[in-house]
Every structure is written in structure tokens, then in C-alpha cells.
Chains A and B, each alone.
Chain A
Amino acid sequence: MNIQAGFKPTAAEAALVEAYDKQLGDLPGDGATLAARDALLSDLKTAGLPTRRIEAWHYTDLKSLLRAVPAYRDEMTASRVDPIVPGSTVLSVTNGKANLRSLQDGISVRSYADALLDGSAAERLSERDRDDAIGQINGSFVRDGLSIEFADGLEVETPIEIQSVQNCGQVSTRFPVRFGAGAKATVIERHLAVGDEAALVTSVSDVRLDDGAEITWIIFQSQGEADTHLAQFKASLGANANLRLYVINGGGKLVRQEIHVAVAGEGSNLTLRGINLLGGESHTDVTFTVGHNVPHTTSSEVIRNVVFDRAKGVFQGQIRVAPDAQKTDAKMSCNTLLLSDDADFSAKPELEIFADDVQCGHGATVIDINHTQLFYLMARGIPENKARAMLVNAFVAEIVEELEDEALVESLEGVITDWLDRHA
């Protein structure tokens, strides 16, 4: 398998191709799966990684930003940590290997490696969107993950934490999750690193909400300072389904978190809340698309970004209303606190509307801390750094408080305060 003539791969592109050739022998999968993997990788060989000329990657030129690809290291180990919300049921994936355990009746958990081996994953693996570099890399290299199914009508009180712990090297995981009709649950998808050396993590969550399901899904990413994290969350919503999605980024060196939601059933609703805590020399890109494909659906998105140091943040959000998707109500806002002169934030909130009887809007702001508020606190004897920390905290915590579950709110606020204490 040679790289095509005329195309000069970067070091990272060459390393990815080489890694594939090296791992090919022990990547799980039947014939169909392997064929799908080959097809995905051959695209990478011909086109390379996306550059800023590709509109979907306008602010994240992966070709130049991805400098190196750490080698796959089978010998490394990692062990699970305590869940964010005490008492959660933990399903852990350590260094890319799923640790299976059986849960209560009505929840079936399988290893994704099995689906690769029996070929049932192949079809979904080869389905990919335009400019889908993450799907492409993940699909080529994915070894394991969890396939989870929630039975119709099942209501789960305790949060379930899918915990992916990584210790250096390379890992690609997938999480196909189906919530049956009317199911209710809270899932925390958590990515963290324990090693000091760089890791390349790719992860795809492929979620389906059947009619009337009511789900809270929280993604919390706290990779190491040298890590690359390329993740995708895809969801499709059935009629009257309600997805509350929280995405919190607080780590990594190069992060791209894509969120693609198809609001495909009448009466369904998406609530997206994002918190990006950015510091150091990191580059974090949250790219979101929501497709309102049928009439009478709603969505609301609020993204709050806090940017310190020399960090660079990106938010691309697109609300798409299909022809005939009348009575859509969609609102998106993206607010950024830029706290350093070397920090950088770019936003591209898009509306793409093909139906007339809709209410759609977006707002975006980029500002510094409000000086009147700062003055107010300082006038009451609070030192400046503390006052600033309070205001920053209030700016993001506001969003977390929308979750009514007290244990959840408390745990997430703890995580945010921890991060701010370390950076502010």
C-alpha cells in the first residue's frame, strides 16, 4: 500500500498510514469490516488530512496542527478512577479495552470488538459524512468500545458513567448506544488521561433516541496537556424524544469535538449546553450541526467559553432547517470570555433555513470581564484575582445549574471550580 504519487504526506499523515499497516494484522474485524477500514484509510492516503480550505475545518487546519502521531502501545495499562458523580455505575474502557460487566435488567452491554468481529458494525463504520476526518481515522483504527441498549420504557435513576481512561499511545473507541422508546437515563461520557506522554484519542458516540426517550448525556473531556482528542457525538432523535446534551472540555492540546444531531421525529427537542475551559497552548474546536428535518421540533444551544493564556478556541455551530420543517424553533448563543491578550477565539454560528414558518436566531459575543462587576466585588474587599475567579465561575456555572439533579450539579461545579483554581 503505497501513498499516491504527487501527494506529499505530512509526518502525521505518513505516521497514520504506517500505523495502519503495522496494526492491520491485529485490528479486529471480519472481511466486511476490514474492507470498510481499507476504504476509509485509502481516502486519507489520497486526500490527506483536512486543511482550512475545507469549510468544516476552517479554523482547525488538522493537516498542520497534527504534528505527530504517537505509536500504538499495547503494553501500557491504566485503571479506572472514581466516577464524577459518587454512586454512578461505571462502565470503563481502559487504554481502549472495554471492561464488561453486567448491569440491571433492561440494559444490555456488549463489547464493540464483538460487533467488529461478527461484521455487524461494518455498515455503520463505512457511513460517513462529508469532510468527516474523525470518522475516517476512528473507523480505520477502532478496536473496541461498548454497544449499549436500553430497553423500551426503562427508567434508570443512577447515572451511568462510560469512563475512557488513557495512558499514552493511541486509542480509538466507539460507543453505539440505543435508548428504547420512553427510556429515561443519565449517561456521563468521560475521557481522561493518566499518563504524562502524549496520546492520540479518537472516539465516536453513535446515539439513537427512540420515540419519547428522555436522556441527559454529559461529555466531560479532561485529556492530558499533550494529548490530541478527536471526538464525535452523533445522535438521532425520534418523535417526542428529548436529549439534553452537556459538553465540557477541560483538557487536551489539540481537541476537536464534533456534535451532529438529527432532530428527526416530530415534537422532539435538543438542548445543548457547552462549557469550554481553555488554557495553556491548547487548541479546542467544538463543531456542532443540528438538522431540523421534520415540522414541530425545537432546539436550544448555549455555549460558554473561557479562554486563558495562549489558548485558541473555536465554535462552529450550524442550525439547519429542512424544507417543510415548519414551526421549528431554534436558538443558539455562544458567549466567550477572552481573558488574555494572547488568547484567541473564533466563532461561526450559522443559520441555514429552507422553511419560512420558523423562529431561528443566534447570538455571539466575545468580551472581557465586566469591569463594573469587578469593581463591585473589589469595593467589598474581595481581592482582584478572587473577584475575577468568582465572575468567571458564575459565567459558566450558570449553565450547569440548569440541570435539576443536585448531585449532578454539585459534581460538575466541583470539576469546573477545580479547573479554574488551577488556571486562573
Chain B
Amino acid sequence: MPAVQETIDQVRQIDVDQYKYGFETTVEMEKAPKGLSEDIIRFISAKKNEPDWMLEWRLGAYRRWLTLEEPAWARVNYPKIDFNDLYYYAAPKNQSGPMSIDDVDPEIIKTYEKLGIPLREQEILAGVQKSKVAVDAVFDSVSVVTTFKEELKKAGVIFMSISEAIREHPDLVKKYLGTVVPTTDNFYATLNSAVFTDGSFVFVPKGVRCPMELSTYFRINERDTGQFERTLIIAEEGAYVSYLEGCTAPQRDENQLHAAVVELVALDDAEIKYSTVQNWYPGDKDGKGGIYNFVTKRGDCRGKNSKISWTQVETGSAITWKYPSCILRGDNSRGEFYSIAVSNGHQQVDSGTKMIHLGKNTSSRIISKGIAAGVSQNTYRGQVSTHRKAENARNFTQCDSLLIGDRCGAHTVPYIEAKNSTSHFEHEATTSKISEDQLFYCLQRGIPEEAAIALIVNGFVKEVIQELPMEFAVEAQKLISISLEGSVG
């Protein structure tokens, strides 16, 4: 593992309680008035030049939302959110949608450069990165630029912001939007349906293997705003796409809300691989500030032999409430979930997955690694269920938790529901601390304690890291050791 040495260096360099992406960008913003009402939704819809059906869809969701109650079942505590004290739309002035890179505010380009996301295609090609990755950069409520669109278009792949897609490919959006996560799904998903401002749209037509990795980089910048993005990915028969998502936010004392919805649709023989490195600002060492991350992610293996795989590295956010799920509808379809959730300081994580087996011979695999340090609470919550007709459903689940320090908590709450005799479920979970033997072994060989812990933790999460695309794996490994900074002693 070459990344290990790098990890150790990283650990040395950075002081305790430091969030690398906590800077703020000064750029003139245009915002909708604070608060949430039908007028605000009309405003957002008008800003985006949306067709009438979209506005109606949003208003329907909003009316539904007014009747819903905030869920309270997760193991997270936070003061009540005043949904009327937020800005639901904030966009850099003169930028109401993606444009050519030359027209984008240089401050914003600089921001992404600082984050390590090159937006200029020629720079990318200049050889810094080995493989090409197309990026959709979302800054607060708008997508600012999408790279490699033309090249992707040649292959038949549509990759653009969802606002553009609503205008340019209304039929496709109408056909799929809300079919995996309906507007009535849950409190936050319904809110998102009413007020979502941007996100990515990917359509990979029949038989096409997407020629490069696609990715979206979400950045919250403005104060008092909520970010509500919506992502829709469709892989037609036999298509393949790998999609990466990254997120950061400035360091602030207040809490900010991020409520996203991601919908994946895989038709016959299609495969979607969705990877996330979530690194929203987690708050400071006293638990002040940080992002509330309330996300609904769901994939629908609609066709036969389809496959959806979720990989997530969760290191940021003050509160994470997130359950990327797979509905295994098509016969022989497969769902996978690989997760690393690291919590430190006062972070609270309640995350896991759902594998709903509906088709015959469907299989799923869940590998979840939770690492809790500081005074954080880390919960795995997952559901595996079979329908009566889902013959030969198979599931394997493994969730391991590692505790670092005696003031944190690790919890496992799996729901296992079998409804026919041919289903075969296996579930195992363990919770322990870093083995003293392993630590002693490293210390004895002259590896300092903090580096030794990073080494052992890297070993603990290796199974999941291996599932990440190369570019992300290295970054994720670094992130994990940074998140655990200061957890020793």
C-alpha cells in the first residue's frame, strides 16, 4: 500500500482540528429572499426557465411536504431546524446556469483549483491526471461548468446539469424523475423535490460504456443557505457508467443544511457504480458549526442482470443521515454497498443501506466499516428484505465498528426480513477497539502511535477502499487519517 507513507506524512503535517477546505470564496451572489413558500418555488422555477409541468411537480411536492413531519427515528440530536430561516436559492451573480469556462467568474475557478478540481479541459489534458474525469461543478444552487460535454456527446452520453436537462431533454427527465424516489418518499426527499436547485443528469444510452469517469463536485459557499441538489442517472440496456461525487463547504459557526436526492435507474444488463467522498465541514472540536447532511439516495435495478454499486467514504458533516439503497427489481440483479464512515469530534453519523429483493435470484452485499473517535456517535442502520416471490435471494452483510477513545459510541441496527424459504441471509457485526497487540507490534518497530493507528485503520477499511476508483482511493485514504487527527491520547 503505497498510500500509507503518504497518509503518515499527512498526519504529521496537519494540526488537530483543521479542515483543509474551510475557506470561503468572495463572489457576488444573487439570492432568493429567505424562507419557503409557493412564491419561492415559483421564483426558483422561473430562474431556471422551467416548463410548467416541472413547476407543478415542485408545488405538488411542497404541498405534500407541509403535511409531513420531520423524522425522529435516527440516532442523531440537533436543535430544531427553522426551515423558514434559510435561503433556498443562491447563485453567483451573472451565472444562472453552466456556461463556457471563459465566462465563469475567475474566483470560482480558483475555488475549484484550490479544492484540486481542475475545470479547464486543457489543464486536465496537460498531464496532471492520468485518466480523464468529466466534472460537473455545482456552486451553491447552480452548476457553473460541465467539462468534456462534447467528447461525451460523441459517445452518445448526456452529462449536464439537471436544470439544463429539464430544458433540453424534458422527455427523458419526465420519464425517470421521481420514479425511484417519489415526491412523497420522506420529509427531506419531498422538501428536495419542491426546492431542488441543481445537480447532475447522466444518460448513458443502450450498449454504451461511458468512455470516462463522470463526477460532480458540490460546494456550499454562501452563508445561511441550504443546498438541495438532485442527481438522476440512467443507464440503458447494457450500458455502464462510473460516477463520483465529492463535496466540501467553508468553515462556519452556524449549521447549514444539505438535503440531496440521488436517483439511479439501471435497465437490463446495465451497471452503475456510484462513489461518494463526502467531506462537508464537520464542525469544530467543540461541535460548533458543520453541515447537516440529510440525503436520500436510491438505485433501482429495474432490468434483468443489472447491477448498482454504492461506495461511500463519509468523513465530513456534523450530522449524516443517509441510506443509499438498492431496489433489486429485475431478476438476477445485484446490489452492493461499501461504506466507510468516520466520525470524530462531535460528529453524528446514522448511515447504512437498504437492499430490497423483489426479483428472482437477486443478490446483495453490504460491507460497512464504522470508525468512531472523540465524542462522536456512529450508527449503522440497514435493512435487507425479500419479497415472497424473490426466490433464491442472497445477502451477505458485514458491519464492523472500530472505537478509538472511550467517549464515543458505535451502534449497529440491522433489520433482516425474510419472507420465503429459498432466501439466504447472512449478517455479521463486530465492535472492538484497535487491538493492543497490533499497536504494540507497530510501536515496537518504531512507528509512532498516531501513524500506527493510521496504518491499522487503513488496514481495517481496505476492503472498501479497494472498491473506489483509483483517483478517489488515494484521497479517501488521506481523508480518513485527517479525520482521525487528535483522536489519540
Contacts and interface: CB of A to CB of B under 8 A. Distances in A.
Interface of A: 55, 58, 323-324, 326, 336, 338-368
Interface of B: 73, 388, 401, 403-433
A363 B405 contact: no
A346 B415 contact: yes
Contacts of A342: 388
Contacts of A360: 430-432
A345 B388 CA distance: 11
Contacts of A338: 418, 420-421, 423
A354 B409 contact: yes
Given A341-B420, A347-B416, A366-B418, A355 B406 contact: yes
B11 to A, nearest CB: 20
Contact of B418 (A345, A348, A349, A358): A345
Given A339-B421, A348-B413, A364-B428, 5 more contacts: A344-B419, A345-B417, A351-B411, A359-B432, A368-B424
Contacts of A368: 421-422, 424
Contact of B411 (A58, A352, A356, A367): A352
Contacts of A365: 425-427
B429 A353 contact: no
A343 B413 CA distance: 23
B411 A350 contact: yes
B298 to A, nearest CB: 21
Contacts of A353: 401, 403, 409-411, 431
B432 A341 contact: no
Contacts of A357: 406, 433
Contacts of A363: 426-429
Contacts of A323: 406-407
A360 B401 CA distance: 10
B349 to A, nearest CB: 14
Contact of A336 (B406, B409, B418): B418
A353 B429 CA distance: 12
16 contacts: A55-B73, A58-B415, A341-B388, A344-B419, A345-B418, A346-B415, A348-B416, A350-B412, A350-B414, A353-B401, A353-B431, A356-B404, A356-B405, A364-B416, A364-B426, A366-B425
B406 A324 contact: yes
A366 B412 contact: no
A366 B416 CA distance: 9
A338 B393 CA distance: 13
A385 B15 CA distance: 68
Nearest to A315: B416
A131 to B, nearest CB: 13
Nearest to B407: A323
Contact of B414 (A354, A359, A364): A364
A-B residue pairs, 8 tightest by C-beta: A356-B403, A366-B418, A361-B430, A351-B412, A364-B427, A366-B425, A347-B416, A363-B428
A323 B429 CA distance: 20
A246 to B, nearest CB: 23
A362 B411 contact: no
B414 A348 contact: yes
Contacts of A349: 412, 414, 416, 427, 429
Contacts of A344: 417-419
B415 A348 contact: yes
Nearest to B422: A368
A299 to B, nearest CB: 14
A349 B430 CA distance: 12
In this complex, the member of A342, A355, A368 whose beta carbon has the largest number of chain B beta carbons within 10 angstroms is: A355
Nearest to B400: A361
A234 B289 CA distance: 43
Contact of A356 (B412, B416, B423, B433): B433
A194 B410 CA distance: 47
A78 to B, nearest CB: 37
A114 B342 CA distance: 56
Contacts of B428: 361-364
A375 B410 CA distance: 43
A309 B401 CA distance: 37
B413 to A, nearest CB: 5
A368 B422 CA distance: 6
Nearest to B430: A361
A285 to B, nearest CB: 13
Contacts of B426: 363-365
Contacts of A358: 403, 431-433
Contacts of B416: 346-349, 364, 366
Contacts of B432: 358-360
Nearest to B383: A348
A58 B415 CA distance: 10
Contacts of B405: 356
Nearest to B423: A366
B431 A361 contact: yes
B419 to A, nearest CB: 5
Contacts of B415: 58, 346-348
Nearest to A339: B421
Nearest to A326: B406
B433 A362 contact: no
A347 B408 CA distance: 26
Contact of A350 (B407, B413, B423, B430): B413
Nearest to A312: B419
Contacts of B408: 354, 356
A342 B404 CA distance: 45
A341 B391 CA distance: 9
B76 to A, nearest CB: 14
A346 to B, nearest CB: 4
Nearest to B416: A347
Contacts of B412: 349-351, 362
Contacts of A341: 388, 420-422
